[in-house]
């Protein structure tokens, strides 16, 4: 609508307008309950219906089988950097990390406190522009898991297919924070998927974990209660007070994604949006540049630089005047980054592309 901007932030990020409006109408008095979701007991039947529907809709979206538990947790994806090793291995166990950006690197560093992680590949020396070929990887034959970050939010590098762990009894673990529910994913390829909600599916404060049930129940002895998947699985994410309002918002987003026709349809829209933006960059004769290898460019986070880097501040300022905000790249890499999650309308990307063309015409 008129008074909203196109928000290209990496997270917290734009949410679907219809979801916000629905939450607004339900905010003061949720479906005749006489109170808002923020005020409800998490153990009452109203909230239980909310969390159960959110889980059921997510299971439908990603086709998650009963072999997996779905947990709604707190502490962001960052907490999972510790929870994953604490729950999936013992202190002397080897685990593998394939590092395609700074989030994967952070996950690896945290794991060092709880087990023996090995970096099997690190793209840092090339500024994280690609995913390696899986054939040449020297994976540990005894690793309990292989960890990847499915979409590196800062560098815009996204796995398009997935490696197998080196250990046939090991599992693949993925941080899907920034491409969660952006396309269909075969969950059965993974032992565990985790995602902070605040990019594609809701507000910050909720972290979703999808974990194969047979992996639950072997946490290290030092594992805090709040990080133990068994505690949360046994209690249907209601061991303690969960982030109720955030879970409610995620539920509204899941409902909306189902109404759009599910993740196959959502993926088509995301491909179209990303396609026109990458095309505009590639066809700019070097005025704009995206350093990421074409085959692994993210559908969600599009980083680009200006050939004349002195124009970057002007670009940002003029974009903001046109109601396109949060286009500044992450402080660690500079340049620009357009995050175009599910909820970014095609009109937002079209407006950005047309702005970019005008800007180039003025400044080339
Ligand atoms: N992993 C990825 C891929 C991310 O993009 C982020 C946040 N930008 C995180 C982990 C950390 O998430 P949180 O802030 O929820 O802890």
Catalytic residue among 30, 57, 96, 103: 103
Whether 158 and 132 have beta carbons less than 8 Å apart is answered as no
Statement to judge: residues 336 and 270 lie in one domain: yes
Tell me: do 210 and 124 sit in the same domain.
Answer: yes
Note whether 299 and 322 are same-domain residues.
yes
| 316 Cβ contact partners less than 8 Å away, ≥ 6 residues apart | 327, 328, 336
CA distance 130 to 50: 40
The domain that holds 349 is classified in CATH as 3.90.1150.10
Among 259, 291, 309, identify where a domain stops.
259
Distance 101 CA to ligand 1 centre (A): 12
Both 243 and 122 in a single domain? yes
313-322 per-position pLDDT tens digit: 999 999 999 9
Whole-number pLDDT of residue 274: 98
Q: How far apart, in whole angstroms, are the C-alpha atoms of residue 179 and residue 101? A: 14
Q: What is the number of other CB atoms lying within 10 angstroms of the CB of residue 272?
A: 13
Q: Are residues 79 and 27 in the same domain?
A: yes
The pLDDT, as a whole number, for residue 321 is 97
Q: What range defines the domain where residue 312 resides? A: 261-363
Angle at which helices 346-363 and 312-321 cross, to 10°: 130
- Distance between CA atoms of residues 16 and 256, nearest Å: 8
pTM beyond 0.95: the answer is: yes
Catalytic residue check, 175: yes
What mean pLDDT value characterizes the chain? 97
Indicate whether 37 belongs to any domain.
yes
Q: For residue 103, is it within any domain?
A: yes
| Average pLDDT per block of 10 residues along the chain, 364 residues long | 91 98 98 98 98 98 98 98 98 98 98 98 97 96 98 98 96 98 98 98 98 98 98 98 98 98 98 98 97 98 96 97 96 92 98 98 94
Same domain? For 107 and 202 the reply is: yes
Domain assignment present for residue 2? The answer is no
For the question of residue 103 being annotated catalytic, the response is yes
Identify whether residues 308 and 354 lie together within a single domain.
yes
Domains identified in the chain, total number: 2
Pair (151, 249) in one structural domain: yes
Active site residue 121: no
Instruction: Judge if 274 and 128 occupy the same domain.
Output: no
Answer whether 92's CB lies under 8 Å from 75's CB: no
**Is 68 near ligand 1, meaning CB less than 6 Å away?**
no
Task: Check residue 334 and give its pLDDT.
Answer: 86
Domain check: are 219 and 278 in the same one? no
Tell me if 76 CB under 6 Å of ligand 1: yes
Residues 118 and 154 in one domain: yes
| Catalytic residue (choose from 175, 183, 269, 273) | 175
Residue where one domain finishes, among candidates 222, 237, 259: 259
Indicate if 41 and 187 belong to the same structural domain.
yes
Question: Residue 304 domain-assigned?
Answer: yes
CA 11 to ligand 1: nearest atom: 8
Q: How far is the C-alpha of 257 from the C-alpha of 183, rounded, in Å?
A: 11
pLDDT tens digits for range 250-287: 999 999 999 999 999 999 999 999 999 999 999 999 99
């Amino acid at each position: 609508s008129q008074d909203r901007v196109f928000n290209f932030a990496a997270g917290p990020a734009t949410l679907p307008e219809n979801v916000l409006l629905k939450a607004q109408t339900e905010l003061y008095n949720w479906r005749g309950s006489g109170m808002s979701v923020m005020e409800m007991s998490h153990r009452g039947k109203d909230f239980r219906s909310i969390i159960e529907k959110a889980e059921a809709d997510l299971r439908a979206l990603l086709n998650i089988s009963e072999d997996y538990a779905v947990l709604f947790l707190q502490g962001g994806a960052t907490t999972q950097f510790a929870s994953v090793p604490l729950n999936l291995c013992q202190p002397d166990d080897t685990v593998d990390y394939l590092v395609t950006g700074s989030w994967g690197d952070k996950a690896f560093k945290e794991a060092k406190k709880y087990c023996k992680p090995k970096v099997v590949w690190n793209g840092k020396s090339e500024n994280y522009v690609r995913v390696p070929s899986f054939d040449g990887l020297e994976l540990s034959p005894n690793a309990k898991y292989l960890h990847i970050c499915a979409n590196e939010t800062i560098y815009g590098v996204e796995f398009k297919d997935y490696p197998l762990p080196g250990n046939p009894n090991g599992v693949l673990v993925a941080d899907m924070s920034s491409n969660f529910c952006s396309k269909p994913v075969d969950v059965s390829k993974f032992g565990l998927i985790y995602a902070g909600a605040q990019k594609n599916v809701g507000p910050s404060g909720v972290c979703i974990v999808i974990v194969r049930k047979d992996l639950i129940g072997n946490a290290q002895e030092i594992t805090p209660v709040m990080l133990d998947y068994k505690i949360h699985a046994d209690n249907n994410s209601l061991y303690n007070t969960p982030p109720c309002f955030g879970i409610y918002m995620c539920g509204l987003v899941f409902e909306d994604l189902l109404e759009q026709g599910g993740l196959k349809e959502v993926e088509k829209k995301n491909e179209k949006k990303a396609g026109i933006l990458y095309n505009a960059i590639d066809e700019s004769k070097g005025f704009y540049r995206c350093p990421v290898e074409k085959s692994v460019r993210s559908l969600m986070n599009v980083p680009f630089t200006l050939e004349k880097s002195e124009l970057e501040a002007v670009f940002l300022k003029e974009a903001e005047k046109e109601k396109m905000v949060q286009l500044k790249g992450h402080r660690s890499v500079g340049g620009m980054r357009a995050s175009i999650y599910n909820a970014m309308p095609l009109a937002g990307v079209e407006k950005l592309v047309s702005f970019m063309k005008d800007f180039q015409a003025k400044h080339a």
